[in-house]
């Protein structure tokens, strides 16, 4: 293992911000329901998924009001930006993992000029649905009922990519991920838990405390720690498919749909980029992937570009939790013809590359449906058909996942997948 390859995973509430905004929101809007719900959670009657579902129902449906609520409580812990700058200077990717209401994380980071330093945000999604708020948990473990967001799965995915992971947190629900990390920076409740469990950690107050020597524990944590309620024996590595909204098996290949961010799929071996011809960064998917992967991706891409509509090339994943990125150039709707054949070629060629590289799992965004203007219903039908037609030839690829950014794109892809013969 390359000893210099280090990644940070940071909790958000109480770690990046001084206050726990999710708790304050739930208490403010939930009143006595907050006390009852938190007491039941504390007694183990349900896990964070249950807590989030119950408390989301008490939030106002106006997300602007919630963002304003979060904004005035969004004081950052001292030294954060210096720490981010120093991590970047050392070439260390930073990930945020949060099990709260996810909606305010990105706006707060943007407001403080910190978003650009973060490779990936693994958080729940609090969205307005049918006149009320709902919190989706796309990073939950499928069978473990304890957390809404399996932060441990992110730590494990990064370790499997050869990173030594330093975990930074403060709270009760950081305990599992911390136990899997190579080094722990803990304060408050997390420090108490580590002390009680005999887990080595470094105490921190503010981010200046993280600027000095690294604090590696030597041995990484043990599985049993992730077992407060009889979950022993759950293999997080092979079972991190929480949040799957629909799946269908076609010729032995599982095709799934999830709502989420393409750069936050740590259990996939490869993700697909809806690239531009020059394979540069930009807006949409390409921007998100290049930001998360870091500048070495662009360096490699320079050697692979340009590509034509329908073509695909493969590169390393760099700071992404995935081993590879497969870059496809989708057709621009109304310009690159015949559109459907070119779009189908993207999916076929991407799967062929995954197969040649003996990859087991691949995630696709909805190629061409953003700035390239392909109507999403038409694109989803083409994509599903192309995958289904390619499936019989796949020996290594076992999982193909559509990762859709919006609820409506998810619904459209679910329907297209249901229609597949
Ligand atoms: P194209 O240029 O091929 O149209 P875009 O990147 O503009 O590609 O968008 C493709 C689709 O991916 C759009 O539906 C867009 O909403 C969605 N999208 C944008 N960013 C992400 C992301 N980070 N993860 C998943 N999907 C995304």
Contact indicator for 259, 136 with CB cutoff of 8 Å: yes
Order of strands, sheet of 361-364, starting from the edge strand that comes earlier in the sequence? 246-250, 253-259, 399-404, 361-364, 270-274, 324-328, 312-316
Rounded Cα–Cα distance for residues 5 and 167 (Å): 14
> What's residue 226's pLDDT?
54
> What's residue 214's pLDDT?
77
* DSSP designation for 17: B
**Its pTM surpasses 0.75:** no
Contact indicator for 183, 216 with CB cutoff of 8 Å: yes
> What's residue 219's pLDDT?
52
Tens of pLDDT along the chain (421 residues) come to 445 689 999 999 999 999 999 999 999 999 999 999 999 998 888 889 999 999 999 999 989 999 999 999 999 999 999 999 999 999 999 999 999 999 999 999 999 999 999 998 999 999 887 788 889 888 887 667 788 998 988 988 888 888 999 999 999 889 889 988 999 999 999 999 888 878 889 999 999 999 987 777 655 444 445 543 333 333 333 333 345 678 899 999 999 998 888 998 888 999 999 999 999 998 899 999 999 999 999 999 999 999 999 999 999 999 999 999 999 999 999 999 999 999 999 999 999 999 999 999 999 999 999 999 999 999 999 999 999 999 999 999 999 999 998 888 999 999 999 998 7
> What's residue 217's pLDDT?
65
> What's residue 115's pLDDT?
92
368 Cβ closer than 6 Å to some ligand 1 atom: yes
CA of 389 to the centre of ligand 1 (A): 24
> What's residue 257's pLDDT?
92
261 Cβ closer than 6 Å to some ligand 1 atom: yes
273 Cβ closer than 6 Å to some ligand 1 atom: no
103 Cβ closer than 6 Å to some ligand 1 atom: no
> What's residue 242's pLDDT?
41
> What's residue 235's pLDDT?
36
> What's residue 238's pLDDT?
32
342 Cβ closer than 6 Å to some ligand 1 atom: no
Print burial letters for 258-279: b (CB count within 10 Å at least 16), e (below 16).
Answer: bbbbbbbbbbbbbbbbbbbebb
Give all domains of the chain, ordered by start, each with its CATH number.
Answer: 3-210 (3.40.50.1000), 241-418 (3.40.220.10)
The angle at the Cα of 405, spanning 403 to 407, to the nearest 5 degrees, equals 105
């Amino acid at each position: 293992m390359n000893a210099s390859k280090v990644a940070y995973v940071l909790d958000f509430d109480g770690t990046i911000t001084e206050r726990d905004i999710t708790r304050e929101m739930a208490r403010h809007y939930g009143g006595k329901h907050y006390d009852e719900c938190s007491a039941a959670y504390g007694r183990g009657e349900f896990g964070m998924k249950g807590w989030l579902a119950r408390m989301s129902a008490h939030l106002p449906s106006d997300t602007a009001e919630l963002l304003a609520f979060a904004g005035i409580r969004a004081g950052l812990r001292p030294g954060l930006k210096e720490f981010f700058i120093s991590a970047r200077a050392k070439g260390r990717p930073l990930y945020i993992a949060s099990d709260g209401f996810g909606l305010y994380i990105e706006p707060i980071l943007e407001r403080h000029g910190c978003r650009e330093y973060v490779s990936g945000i693994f958080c729940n999604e609090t969205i307005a649905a049918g006149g009320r708020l709902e919190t989706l948990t796309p990073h939950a473990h499928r069978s473990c009922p304890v957390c809404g967001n399996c932060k441990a799965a992110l730590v494990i995915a990064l370790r499997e990519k050869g990173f030594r992971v330093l975990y930074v947190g403060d709270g009760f629900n950081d305990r599992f991920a911390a136990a899997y990390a190579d080094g722990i920076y803990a304060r408050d409740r997390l420090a108490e838990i580590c002390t009680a469990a005999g887990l080595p950690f470094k105490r921190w107050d503010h981010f200046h405390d993280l600027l000095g020597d690294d604090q590696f524990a030597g041995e990484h944590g043990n599985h049993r720690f992730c077992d407060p309620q009889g979950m022993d024996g759950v293999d997080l590595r092979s079972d991190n498919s929480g949040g799957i909204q629909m799946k269908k098996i076609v010729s032995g290949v599982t095709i799934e749909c999830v709502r989420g961010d393409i750069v936050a799929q740590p259990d996939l071996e490869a993700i697909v980029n809806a690239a531009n011809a020059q394979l540069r960064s930009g807006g949409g998917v390409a921007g998100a992937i290049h930001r998360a992967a870091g500048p070495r991706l662009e360096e490699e891409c320079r050697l692979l570009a340009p590509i034509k509509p329908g073509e695909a090339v493969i590169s390393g994943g760099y700071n992404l939790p995935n081993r590879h990125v497969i870059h496809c150039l989708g057709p621009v709707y109304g310009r690159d013809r015949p559109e459907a054949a070119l779009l189908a070629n993207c999916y076929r060629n991407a799967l062929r590359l995954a197969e040649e590289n003996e990859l087991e799992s691949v995630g696709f965004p909805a190629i061409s449906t953003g700035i390239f203007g392909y109507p999403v219903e038409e694109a989803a039908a083409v994509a599903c058909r192309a995958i289904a037609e390619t499936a019989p030839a796949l020996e290594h690829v076992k999982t193909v996942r559509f990762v859709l950014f919006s609820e409506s794109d998810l619904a459209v892809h679910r329907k297209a997948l249901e229609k597949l013969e």
